[in-house]
Amino acid sequence: MNVESIVNAVLAVVWSPYLVVLCLATGLYFSVRTRFVQLRALPDMLRLMFRHERSDAGVSPFQALSLSLSSRVGVGNIAGVAMAIAFGGPGAIFWMWIVAFLGASSAFIESTLAQIYKDRDAKGQYRGGPAYYIEKGLGQRWYAVLFALVTVLAGAMLAGTQSNAITSAVNEAWDVPVMVTTGVLLVVLAAILLGGVRRIARVAEWVVPVMAVAYLLVTAVVMVLNVERVPEVIALVLRSAFGVDAAFGAMIGTAIQWGVRRGVLSNEAGMGSGAHPAAAAEVSHPVKQGLVQSFSVYIDTMVVCSATAFLILSTGLYNVYDPAVDGVPDEARLLLGNLPGVEAGPRFVQHAVESALPGFGKSFVALAILPFAFTTILALYYMAETNVSYLCRDHPRGWVMGTFQLLFLAATGYSAMNSATVAWALGDIGVGMMSWLNIIAILLLQRPALAALRDYEDHRRHGRDPLFNPKLLGVRNTSVWAQ
């Protein structure tokens, strides 16, 4: 068996239908348990997002949000959406919306837990995430170590997905050799990574909003140029999602599978990655950052992913009907020279914009993917570094961190030069492994997060700024909050 066959075999095991059901069921369960906090608390989410609390130990809520969005808003929002449409039909977008809405409650739980059980590293800065709350909340050190090891590996895998999309888009737009793109990428990455979390947070704080607004503006222009097709696009998504058309009848299961898989890869709800930057924020109550991180799921999927989907579908470039197969969409082909969807992901979007804005589309999408993917790599590095820090917190870490940085850069460069099929499959495996471990953990450890939510709402009802006191809630092992 070759590498691609082995990777695909592992992917089939990790992303079984059971994981799809688990993601949706967990999101629905937490939505009910929190009384749909993702809807009720929208005003608070918007208010808290721009609070500027920070300290020597922690970054501001907005910086933590930007760092989280750096991880969430990546090539999954561009190439990943194209792949979801290619393999699952337009209906996959509807299921991405569903997993975002339900997953926002899962993101709230995991981010609140990350704040409750955060710790300080050797430099006095906040660190936290699933490994920390698994050990402190569940008392299962072995499970925490397993999650940390898996997350370090997954971070490198997912960074490779991002770097591969960068080289593909740049090559398509300007015919730049992969080796040149990879070399420049790694040099710039190395320069920023050595600056630590504060430099990463500062880069994310400025780059993420600018790149997202620019991308949305161009998408809006393309949709205005094709405004007469927008109603049909909405109808197409809904018909495809529920198999109303005979052409999509056989694809309902595939639409759900790809919608959930690409949705989780994009917004990371329940995966645990967003919990790492959430723990780094300086807030007076864990629920504050839980709400901010919950809103980031909406920004990622409801806004950016939806923009890409409407961009592709409104230009009329989605046309994968094969008359030789009774009109059923051919799941393996797009318009672009019969390229399989995984290879054509960035190129599909580039050609969509190019069809509406000739001479501009390919270059613009390449320029959009560059900061999207680049900041995601930075956020993934921070996530993986946090888990290396967790694993080595009782030992000298200088040489360990140096070795880890080199290995992370090497993995990023390797996937950039590898086939897109392997790069995306490895990324999906990383997402799947983290999701299995983290979802089980937050289901077992939900009570402190739910108690914190009730406490926060009680403070708000009485007109007080919520201040967290874990002793009053019977929550233990919260070393930072006890100080």
Q: What is the pLDDT of residue 36?
A: 97
Q: Is residue 273 part of a domain?
A: yes
Residue 402: name the closest of 190, 145, 198, 156 by CA: 190
Q: Please state, in angstroms and rounded to a whole number, the distance separating the CA atoms of residues 337 and 140.
A: 52
Alpha-carbon torsion angle 402, 408, 413, 416, nearest 10: -160
Mean pLDDT for the stretch of residues 101-126: 93
pLDDT at 325 over 70: no
DSSP 329: B
Residue 202 pLDDT level (bands cut at 50, 70, 90): confident
What is the tens place of the pLDDT at every residue in 210-254?
A: 877 888 888 888 888 888 888 888 988 988 888 766 555 556 778
Can you give the pLDDT at residue 476?
92
pLDDT greater at residue 111 or residue 332:
111
Structural domain includes residue 79: yes
Lowest mean pLDDT among 28-42, 71-85, 261-275: 71-85
Measure the N-to-C terminal CA separation of the chain; round to a whole number of Å.
55
Neighbours of 440 (CB within 10 A): 16
Cα separation values, 121 from 12, 128, 179, 385, 461, Å: 37, 9, 37, 12, 35
Instruction: Compare 248 and 329 and report the one with higher pLDDT.
Output: 248
Give residue 28's pLDDT band: very low, low, confident or very high (50, 70, 90).
Answer: very high
Could you tell me the CATH number of the domain that includes residue 351?
1.20.1730
Which range of 51-65, 106-120, 387-401, 421-435 scores highest in mean pLDDT? It is 106-120
Give how far Cα 78 sits from Cα of 95, 152, 236, Å: 16, 25, 19
Dihedral pair phi/psi, residue 269, rounded to 5°: -65, 125
What pLDDT sits at residue 57? 63
Which class for 482: exposed (0-12), middle (13-18), buried (19 or more C-beta within 10 A)?
Answer: exposed
Alpha-carbon gap, residue 31 to 100, rounded angstroms? 12
Task: Tell me phi and psi for residue 281, to 5 degrees.
Answer: -80, 150
190 inside domain: yes
Largest CA distance in the chain: 69
CA–CA separation, 448 and 450 (whole Å): 6
| R_g (Cα) of the chain, nearest Å | 21
Beta bridge partners of 127: 119
CA distance 422 to 373: 17
Out of 78-82, 192-196, 328-332, 370-374, which region has the weakest mean confidence (pLDDT)? 328-332
- Cα separation, 449 vs 33, in Å, equals 11
Mean pLDDT for 314-341 is 46
pLDDT at 195: 66
Residue 334 has pLDDT above 80, yes or no: no
Measured CA to CA, the distance from residue 216 to residue 194 in angstroms comes to: 32
Cα–Cα distance measured from residue 332 to residue 342, given in angstroms and rounded to the nearest whole number: 9
Is pLDDT above 90 for 451?
Answer: yes
Assess if residue 460 is contained within a domain: no
Taking residues 121-148, report their average pLDDT.
93
62 lies in a domain? Answer: yes
CB 132 within 8 A of CB 114: yes
Q: Give the number of domains in the chain.
A: 1
Residue 84 has a CB neighbour count (10 Å cut-off) of: 32
- pLDDT at position 394: 57
pLDDT-derived band at 378 (thresholds 50, 70, 90) equals confident
Mean pLDDT over 196-211 rounds to: 73
Sequence length of the chain is 483
Q: What pLDDT is attached to residue 8?
A: 85
Return all residues near 175 (Cβ < 8 A) that are at least 6 apart. none
Structural domain of residue 358, as residue ranges? 11-453
* Residue 401: inside a domain: yes
Q: Closest Cα partner for 369 from 228, 195, 177, 167? A: 167
Q: Is the pLDDT of residue 341 over 70?
A: no
Return all residues near 141 (Cβ < 8 A) that are at least 6 apart.
Answer: 135
- How many percent of the chain have pLDDT more than 90? 34
Task: Return mean pLDDT, the chain.
Answer: 84
CB 430 within 8 A of CB 154: yes
Q: Is residue 98 situated within a structural domain?
A: yes
Q: Residue 28, exposed/middle/buried by CB under 10 A (0-12, 13-18, 19+)? A: middle
481 falls within a domain:
no
* Pairwise pLDDT comparison (444 vs 425), residue with the higher score: 444
Q: Is the pLDDT of residue 153 over 90?
A: yes
User: Are 412 and 189 in contact, with CB atoms under 8 Å apart?
Assistant: yes
Q: Measured in whole angstroms, how far is the alpha carbon of residue 11 from the centre of its chain?
A: 18
Q: Is the pLDDT of residue 421 over 60?
A: yes
Which H or E run includes 252?
helix 252-267
3-state secondary structure of 443: helix
Which residue did the predictor score with more confidence, 22 or 261? 22
